[in-house]
A and B are shown apart, each in its own frame.
Chain A
Amino acid sequence: MKAAAAHFDGKLILAGVAGAAALAILGLLGTIVWMSLRTGVPGQASGYTFTNYFTLIGDPYMYRVMWTTLRFAAVTIGIAIPLGLVFAWLIERTDLPHKALAMSLLGIGILFPTFLKAMGWVFLLHPRIGVINIIFMQMLGLTAAPLNIATVAGIGFVEGLTLAPLAYVMISAALRGMNPALVEASSIHGVGKWRTLLRVEMPLIWPALLSTVIWMFTIALAAFDVPGVIGMANNIFTFSTALYFMINPNEGLPRYGLSGAYGSIMICVSLLLMLPYFAALRQSHRYQIISGKSYRASVIELGRWRAAGWVLIGGYFFVAFVLPLLAIFWVSLLPYVQMPSRRALAAASFERYGATLFDSALLGAGWNTLLLMVLVPTIVVVVSTAISWIVTRSRLRGRVALDAIAFLPHPVPHLLFALSIAYFALLISDVVPLYGSIYVLIAVYAVCWISFGTRVLNSSMIQVHRELEEAAEVGGVPTLRILLKVIVPLIRPGLVYAWIWTSLSAYRELTMAVFLASPRSQVLSTYVWGQWHGGGLGDAAAVAIVMMAVMSPLVATFWIYARRQQQVASPV
């Protein structure tokens, strides 16, 4: 009787945690729809109306924004997928030397915050102040800049470069799981390596490629970093930046209702995109190894192309990481942005860094960032464990629905969750003073990354055989104890991987933070954004360099630890 009660209590606690998370996800999405049916600002009385939808449909500016967003997403995918595919192929399927180093270089690419790269690209490829453009113009005697970052293609290029390592991680998982028997058969029948690559390997990984394309598309749809840093000043608005100006308008009051309508439409579009995504994922299992044997296809010998492989990976690292960083560093030394010259060099100093070191607001932002990096992954791992346990180990009714709800934050643009929680926190601010606090950021980050945590932990838990659990149950061990003493130790690598990845995501996140940050909840990313957006380009650059310098050792340690857990897997 006592054992049964403990059993029941454990399940109740897990169900309670999972249920609260599911309610939070549905509640925040529901708030967006509710917002869309109201007018005015939170706290003002309003009836229910479809006016916001009619306004949106009748506004040609919104169609232009959507068209820009689609073009931006297309360029992003066009850059990220081919690069990710080539990197994955080189690392997984060839005899490229020093693969561990190549993987680490790409890993750094993921960890370097996107908005910092975007800042660097303004100083590199802007048609009037871009160093590369000016060098080209001087060398070739051109009167106009040959390249222009301040275009839709330009911002798509930067976003694509940034997402290439993520595409690599996702595609390499597919290449690793590919059924090698077909490749071997092709080889036995005398088909050349390159022909095998095009005719056998590519068709085998197409479902994974398609799901990566859809994943990249949803990221590009909601991306704020690059469109915010490069696009806004150049009159290029995408979905996220247009939404930002609905809440932070240049004239008049925030248009929460309109942003809610816009968000509701985006939720529908995102959910529709999940249909081909799931279809592709279902297809991908057909092409994977189904035996438990450790069987890998022989790698392709690159021969004299080995150097070319490294030139590509090294070149990518230099262009996507080193160059923007150097550009930011240069700007941080100057009293105002100038082209490299003797005169500019004479004016260079570390003055900004001196001011930065004693800035209490920056220290506060650093502390808040650390807090997020510890608390958010801890919450995500605890909640995801509860959800994944219910989904994969229990026979509770509604577990399939719970899994679907936990997945919802994945396709829906995260900034909509931020918008929703801001609205909700404002509504209840008289009763619970949550608005503007760091807790709001913690809550929304945790809600949004539960989808990632549950994907990782679902796959980890599925691999644990039921026998162990059943034996413990027969022995009368309570549910929570079984989870903590039997399952958790077995899925530890997955838990650590989910924790580290979420922690690093909290460090680099800007999109949600920019909608929610207040003086009390500044984090490093919003601090840099505030400086940039406020016109302090040099100050923003100096803080960005400090941010990189201080956080890099921590980030690198995390990354190395994650690699040791041998869990560098796709977050899908």
Chain B
Amino acid sequence: MQTLAIIIAALIWLALATSSSRAAESVERLVAGAAKEGELVFVAGSETFGGRKGFGELGAAFNKKFGLNTKINFAAGPEMNSMAARVITEVKAGRASTDFYLGSQSHYALLHQEGVLEPVAWSATFPWITKEMEVLPAESVLVYTSLNGIIYNSTLIPKDKTPKSYADLVDPKLSPAWAGKIAIPPYVQWMADLSLLWGQEKVRDFARKLVPLSGGRLRYSEEERVVSGEFPIMANIGGALEHMWMWEKKGAPLVAVTGSSPPITSYFQLGALKKSAHPNTAKLFVAFMMSKEAQTIIEKYDGRTTHLVEGTRLAKYLSANRIKLQPPAEAMAAYIKSEGGDGLKFKEELAKMLKQ
């Protein structure tokens, strides 16, 4: 029995040793490949990861970590939904204009379904990436966790009228304060997520009441238009708390409230793309974004972090407020499941309502 235990232990040790030496070898190979490629291209919304400034610092830290001299190109492109559509089109046509992609569950479900993601054994290759961080196993990793919520300009919404939840947005006692001025996002995913808490019928009713109150459509990167007062309130935005924290630093009057309990959570992921022009650098950079040093830079410029890296602001916030989030991979799997049949029809129905 003792002999058997020793053999099993030896086998486990051998497997671990082989895997870790292979991982080290793989990282080395990727670094060597990246050195040959010499360049990386990332296209995303102009303010992603702190825009040019934040991305510049990330690039410098990446080069330092791996001893590279890679030219890091960040180009302001369309927002995530449009970019996902573009990436799929490009990969199918044989050429991706960005080396990796940033998006949440809905985008990655689409990318996964269309088969445009490059398979990478993330947690097996990179020692600092845990299995839990792989949102789509062997395809994407969690770069930041984002709690959705309402944001408003505190100088324009009277204190006694401030919304505490999504339901308040359509409350006839409160809604006159923002009727005709509230911005709603042009996406339906947050309402589809809300239906998991409220049920589809209640969300349908909510959407029917909310759309006529709206004064415009703002994408998730346009919170400055609430800060400026162009729209005094926005019905939902990804990373509501992080936006508030970022604008607080500049003295801007932006307040965020998570509109539901538990909060609607978006898991933003990075993944390398097939037909990328710089495949090795892409994999290495995506992995680097999960490191503590990268998370510190992202937090500094963008205010966002993943709750899975210890010591980040969000990890502390969730712990302090005793909020427990669903494991990302589980949430992703549930999302993909909800995409079929009824879920898809519901989203199409919501999209039609938003066009009004």
Interface residues of A, Cβ cutoff 8 Å to B? 41-44, 61, 122, 126, 128-129, 150, 232-235, 247-254, 335-338, 347, 355, 359, 361, 426-427, 429-430, 433, 435-436, 518-520, 522, 527, 530-531, 533-539
Contact = CB atoms under 8 A, between A and B. Distances in A.
B217 A235 contact: yes
A335 B247 CA distance: 10
B188 interface: yes
A347 B227 CA distance: 15
Interface of B: 41, 43, 45-48, 51-53, 73-79, 81-82, 85-86, 88-90, 92-95, 97-98, 106, 110, 114, 156, 181, 183, 186-189, 214-219, 221-225, 227-232, 247, 250-252, 347, 351, 355
24 contacts: A41-B88, A43-B89, A43-B93, A61-B355, A128-B229, A129-B230, A234-B217, A235-B215, A248-B86, A249-B82, A251-B347, A252-B110, A253-B114, A336-B228, A435-B90, A435-B93, A527-B76, A530-B75, A533-B46, A534-B45, A534-B46, A536-B46, A536-B76, A538-B224
The 10 closest A-B pairs by CB, nearest first: A534-B46, A530-B76, A337-B228, A248-B82, A519-B75, A430-B94, A535-B221, A535-B222, A43-B92, A426-B93
Given A251-B351, A338-B228, A536 B51 contact: yes
Contact of A251 (B48, B76, B188, B230): B188
B279 to A, nearest CB: 16
Contacts of A426: 89-90, 93
Contacts of B181: 128
Given A41-B89, A336-B228, A232 B217 contact: yes
B221 A43 contact: no
Nearest to A61: B355
Given A150-B216, A248-B78, A534-B76, A361 B52 contact: yes
A518 B181 CA distance: 34
Contact of B89 (A150, A254, A355, A538): A254
Contacts of A41: 88-89, 92-93
Contacts of B224: 336-337, 535-538
Given A248-B86, A254-B85, A519-B41, A234 B215 contact: yes
Contact of A535 (B47, B73, B95, B156): B47
B264 to A, nearest CB: 17
Nearest to A427: B93
Contact of A42 (B92, B218, B221, B222): B92
A321 B185 CA distance: 32
Nearest to A65: B355
A175 B218 CA distance: 47
B17 to A, nearest CB: 42
Secondary structure at the A interface, as helix, strand, loop or mixed, is: loop
A144 to B, nearest CB: 11
Nearest to A522: B75
A535 B76 contact: no
Contact of A233 (B106, B156, B216, B250): B216
Contacts of A538: 224
Given A129-B230, A251-B81, A336-B228, A43 B215 contact: no
A226 to B, nearest CB: 16
Given A249-B85, A429-B95, A530 B77 contact: yes
A436 B95 contact: yes
Contacts of B355: 61
B182 to A, nearest CB: 12
A519 B77 contact: yes
B144 to A, nearest CB: 17
B95 A537 contact: no
A247 B86 CA distance: 8
A417 B116 CA distance: 28
Contacts of A520: 97
Contacts of A43: 89, 92-94
A563 B351 CA distance: 52
A530 B85 CA distance: 17
Contacts of B250: 335-336
Contact of A234 (B46, B97, B216, B223): B216
Nearest to B223: A535
A44 B222 CA distance: 34
Given A234-B215, A250-B82, A337-B227, A534 B47 contact: yes
A198 B259 CA distance: 64
A457 to B, nearest CB: 37
Nearest to B252: A336
A539 B46 contact: yes
Nearest to A233: B216
Given A44-B92, A248-B78, A253 B52 contact: no
Among A44, A355, A519, find the residue whose CB has the most chain B CB atoms closer than 10 A: A519
Nearest to B76: A530
A355 B227 contact: no
Contact of A252 (B85, B92, B225): B85
Contacts of B46: 530-531, 533-536, 539
B51 A539 contact: yes
Nearest to A60: B355
A520 B43 CA distance: 11
Given A254-B86, A427-B93, A430-B93, A518 B75 contact: yes
A519 B53 contact: no
Contacts of A338: 228
Contacts of A44: 92
Contacts of B252: 335-336
Contacts of A347: 251
B191 to A, nearest CB: 12
Contacts of B183: 233
A464 to B, nearest CB: 47
Given A359-B52, A361-B73, A535-B223, 18 more contacts: A61-B355, A129-B229, A232-B217, A233-B218, A235-B217, A251-B351, A253-B88, A336-B247, A361-B52, A426-B89, A426-B90, A435-B90, A435-B95, A436-B90, A436-B97, A519-B77, A534-B76, A535-B224
A538 B250 CA distance: 13
